Amino acid sequence: MDKRERIIAVFGSGKAVKGSEKYGIAYEIGRSLAENGYILANGGYGGTMLAGAEGAASVGGEVVGVTCTSFGRNGPNEYVTREIKTNSLDERVGKLIELADGYIVLSGGTGTLLELANVWELKNKGFFETDKPIIIVGEFWEELVRLVGSEDERCIKHIEKVGSATEAIEILKRYFGNNN
């Protein structure tokens, strides 16, 4: 693979609070991405988005926050280094998917499910011009993956399951080589 800046979109819950396990995992993912030369992209607000951005910022990493004006929020969290404003949820998800070279999916609600389903279907149907990894961290989505796989067993090969930030980085290195 060519040596260039790689953007990794991280999807997860906007409800994770500082001090929680979810927040800690997202922080570690953000820090590990930045330490390994990746740019973090996420929705730019709170929860795991804040945690990942804080983790990346703690080691001088770049954070792209794709925000949505229809949410009526004041702006991105303080760790976002570049904001991209969108006007709708569909535009926001589409921009995150377009920007990213790979995707890491943490536990989350319907918004995270929307993001996961979108990238999974695009990869499953061969719409990406290049092979983009989809990495699920933890056990949260495992039952969904099994359920969908019972209908279409081929689609399971598009999902990588890991238990830690270190394992996620190893998969990214397998796809892209050493990004430092």
| Phi-psi domain of 16 (left: phi exceeds 0; alpha: psi -120 through 50; beta: other) | beta
User: Domain spans of the chain?
Assistant: 6-176
Quick one: which of 120, 76, 90, 114 has its CA closest to 102? Answer: 120
Quick one: which of 42, 54, 38, 118 has its CA closest to 83? Answer: 42
157: its two tokens: 């090969």
Distance CA 103, CA 133 (A): 6
Q: How far is CA 45 from the centre of its chain?
A: 13
How far lies 58's CA from each of 35, 55, 80, 107, 124, in Å?
10, 5, 12, 23, 35
Distance CA 171, CA 70 (A): 35
Q: What is the pLDDT of residue 180?
A: 67
User: Helix (H, G, I), strand (E, B), or coil: what is residue 160?
Assistant: strand
Strands across the sheet with 82-86, in order?
82-86, 63-68, 38-42, 6-11, 102-105, 134-137, 160-162
- Per-residue pLDDT of the chain (180 residues), as tens digits, is 345 799 999 999 999 999 999 999 999 999 999 999 999 999 999 999 999 999 999 999 999 999 999 987 778 999 999 999 999 999 999 999 999 999 999 999 999 999 999 999 999 999 999 999 999 999 999 999 999 999 999 999 999 999 999 999 999 999 998 876
How far lies 128's CA from each of 48, 102, 162, in Å?
26, 11, 22
41: its two tokens: 């992209």
Is CATH 3.40.50.450 the classification given to domain 6-176? yes
